Amino acid sequence: MDKLISIDNGGTLTDVVVIDGERIFRAKTLTTPHDLSKCFFDGLRRVSREIYGREDLPELLRGTDLIRYSTTQGTNALVERRGPRLGLILGAPREVAGLAAEPATAALFAALVGERVTIVNPTADDPDSAVLDAVNALTGSGANRIVVSLAGADYAAAERSIKRIALRRFPPHMLGTVPMLYSHEVIDSVDPVARTWTALINAFLHPAMETFLYHADNRLREHPTRASLLIFRNDGGSARVAKTKAIKSYGSGPRGGLEGARAFARHYGLADLLALDVGGTTTDIGRIRAGEIAVGEPGRIEGVAVALPLAEIVSAGVGGGSVLRVRDGRVQVGPDSVGAVPGPACFARGGTDATITDVMLLAGVIDASTYFGGELALDPAAARAAVERAAALPLGLPFDVALHRLCEAWVVAVAEAVRAVAAPGPDTTLAAFGGAGPLLACAVAEVLGATRVLVPATAAVFSALGIGFSDLMQEYRAVLDAGEPDAIGSAFTRLHAQAGRDMAAEGIALADCALTAALRITTGAHTEEHPLPIDIVDAPLLPRALPADAECTLVLRACRALPHPPFAEAAVAPQPALAVGSRLLMLGADPARALPVYPLESQMPGATASGPAIVEDRYYTGLVPAGWAFELNGNRDLWLRRTA
């Protein structure tokens, strides 16, 4: 097996993990929002230096089997409302009300669609003229992408009739033709509101995702490589660009972190794991119970219910780059972030806002000469000016006391975000990862009442590592008609054929995939799932009758296992950790004191020490307070436990 590459493109940093047998290499680079393909290849070049001792991108790509990739490009585009002007064709005026019935849905509908809505009756006396007038009205009002979503039991057939007219009247080969998207081609659901929202969000995300991903794929083809670019998605699977819907990219980065957390929870036998993925912009929180990721159905995007399941991940606007300011005498954390550009004030890239990164630099936890592996020089003077302006002067406090107040506010903000998801219990382990996850993880745990924290060896690039636990996967859904004879069998035949075509496009025979099928019966808010035999068509005991008062959905999943990251843990004997120097901690709550610094890369497995201390990886720093101890295990994962 040759090398496997996983890349997680975040809003601030882009992380790269390369798995070469039992060895794992990693690198981070600043995200380049103006051209995401630049940081994509910057990260590959940087990790090639880690592997070969020199930059050699061609050699890296020649020896790579596949690349699994996740990006926040679509998520950020939706958050920032940066995308096409959508037009919407519905079948009746009353359908508009359901799309904007709540404040969250009304606000998103106003941002994505607004007044660009028109009604088409596909059974009108002159349907050609109705479609022509609707499209002209929408394009005349500024729509540059149109979604068609109709209601009713025969909504798919009605949408297909509009599609035939549109293709005849507006052939796609003509210059300036506005793309039209039909909801039944995105998802099959009898819930018109959820289906319409799914189609709208997919249409909004599609241009940004298509432009970047195909550009990256094409640039890869310019190199002598056989590596396939697979897109990691929010359902936990990966697939080629051409077989991935844009909406599947939403929240895929945080899902990568959860996939890694699930693998670690199963490996270590952790019954309850709370995952804290603290990046530059957000803290993404999820929970793993009994080795499984909680999944909500329907899933929610920006507070809107969509017609596909999504992992239950809460993103709070608290990160390493979240802006710290004082308002009405209180410290406010975020939700806005400085991102990679201009970044925290200490990055000396033009940023003037204070962040927790600036605070930890001035407090003595972060060292300007070792941050980011010593490759990113920090400016303490710029950080001090930002903190004085943002907090010390408005609060009227001595500088070191102001640092303590800012640190305390940031910790409380993260802890409150966790409590909003789930309160830790006595058996709960916090998994802290992301570039800022380990920074104050013990302090967050103390506020929550937790006593155990796991910091993976690859914490700073953990979402990228988590992507590596995904398999090549496609999932198909078909809503069943209770009145149709043999509805399950006929739907299975159709989905099975589609899965065969899609997997063939991946270069894989369907016979080499694991297939699972299930019947989902939804009555109101209650859903039951019943596994089905794969030989559905020939299964004589399969019940053919379906309840008429419920939504019945056939779910078919085709999965081809891919290589996963290794666990190389071996039993080790505890031994004292070796400190290398010290740093003067100045947070104002206690007198300044020198704390020992433990560089983790120079420690032997089994290394242990007690706080107060500072632990440091090339890409992250962590403060171990008094009353806590750490141990580096055989997998080089860091375990922190409260001792007092």
User: Is the pLDDT at 538 greater than 70, yes or no?
Assistant: no
Domain 472-560 has CATH 3.40.50: no
User: Is the pLDDT at 561 greater than 60, yes or no?
Assistant: yes
Among 559, 572, 462, which Cα is nearest to 513's? 559
Q: Which long-range contacts (CB under 8 A, 24 or more apart) does 223-226 make?
A: 223/57, 223/58, 223/61, 224/58, 224/61, 224/62, 225/61, 225/62, 225/64, 226/65
Query: For residue range 383-433, what is the model confidence (pLDDT) as tens digits?
Result: 999 999 988 889 888 888 889 999 999 999 999 999 888 888 888 999 999
Q: Classify 130 as helix, strand or coil.
A: helix
| Amino acid sitting at position 488 | I
Q: Where are the domains of the chain?
A: 3-78+210-249, 81-193, 252-319+411-467, 472-560
Average pLDDT on 435-464 reads 94
> Could you count the other beta carbons within 10 Å of the beta carbon of residue 22?
9
Cα separation, 503 vs 484, whole angstroms: 29
Query: For residue range 98-112, what is the model confidence (pLDDT) as tens digits?
Result: 788 788 788 899 999
| CATH annotation of 81-193 | 3.40.50
Query: For residue range 60-84, what is the model confidence (pLDDT) as tens digits?
Result: 999 898 899 998 777 777 877 888 9
Record the tokens describing residue 398, joined without a space: 């001595």
What number of helices (H) and strands (E) belong to the chain? 17, 34
Q: Classify 424 as helix, strand or coil.
A: coil
Query: For residue range 317-341, what is the model confidence (pLDDT) as tens digits?
Result: 888 888 899 988 898 898 878 876 7
Most confidently modeled of 34-48, 277-291, 432-446, 564-578?
Answer: 432-446
Q: Tokens 């996939």: give the residue.
A: 259
What is residue 610's predicted lDDT score, i.e. its pLDDT? 95
What is residue 542's predicted lDDT score, i.e. its pLDDT? 56
Top-level class of domain 3-78+210-249 = alpha beta
User: Is the pLDDT at 544 greater than 70, yes or no?
Assistant: no
Among 315, 243, 318, which Cα is nearest to 281's? 318
Question: What is the share, in percent, of the chain residues with pLDDT greater than 70?
Answer: 97
What is residue 537's predicted lDDT score, i.e. its pLDDT? 60
Q: Please check whether the two domains, 3-78+210-249 and 252-319+411-467, share a CATH topology.
A: yes
C-alpha radius of gyration, the chain, whole number: 26
User: Is the pLDDT at 33 greater than 80, yes or no?
Assistant: no
Cα separation, 272 vs 264, whole angstroms: 11
DSSP assignment of 365-389 equals: SS-TTTGGGGTS---HHHHHHHHII
User: Is the pLDDT at 356 greater than 60, yes or no?
Assistant: yes
Q: Classify 221 as helix, strand or coil.
A: helix
Average pLDDT on 614-632 reads 95
User: Is the pLDDT at 540 greater than 70, yes or no?
Assistant: no
**pTM tops 0.85, yes or no:** yes
What is residue 86's predicted lDDT score, i.e. its pLDDT? 96
Average pLDDT on 452-469 reads 94
User: Is the pLDDT at 589 greater than 80, yes or no?
Assistant: no
What is residue 298's predicted lDDT score, i.e. its pLDDT? 82
Average pLDDT, the chain: 88
CA distances from 447 to 419, 424, 443, 444, 529 (A): 10, 11, 6, 5, 39
| Amino acid sitting at position 235 | D
How is the chain split among helix, strand and coil, in percent rounded to 5?
Answer: 35, 25, 35
> Could you count the other beta carbons within 10 Å of the beta carbon of residue 246?
22
User: Is the pLDDT at 357 greater than 90, yes or no?
Assistant: yes
**Low-confidence winner among 172-181, 182-191, 626-635 (lowest mean pLDDT):** 172-181
What is residue 182's predicted lDDT score, i.e. its pLDDT? 96
Average pLDDT on 159-183 reads 89
Query: For residue range 203-260, what is the model confidence (pLDDT) as tens digits?
Result: 999 887 877 777 777 788 888 787 788 999 999 999 988 888 999 988 888 899 999 9
User: Is the pLDDT at 447 greater than 60, yes or no?
Assistant: yes
What is 252-319+411-467's CATH topology? Nucleotidyltransferase; domain 5 (3.30.420)
What is residue 338's predicted lDDT score, i.e. its pLDDT? 81
User: Is the pLDDT at 570 greater than 70, yes or no?
Assistant: yes
Buried b / exposed e over 41-76, threshold 16 CB at 10 Å, is: bbbbebbbeebeeeeebeebbebbbbbbbbbbbbbb
What is residue 536's predicted lDDT score, i.e. its pLDDT? 67
Among 403, 324, 455, which Cα is nearest to 586's? 403
**Low-confidence winner among 53-57, 246-250, 372-376, 402-406 (lowest mean pLDDT):** 372-376
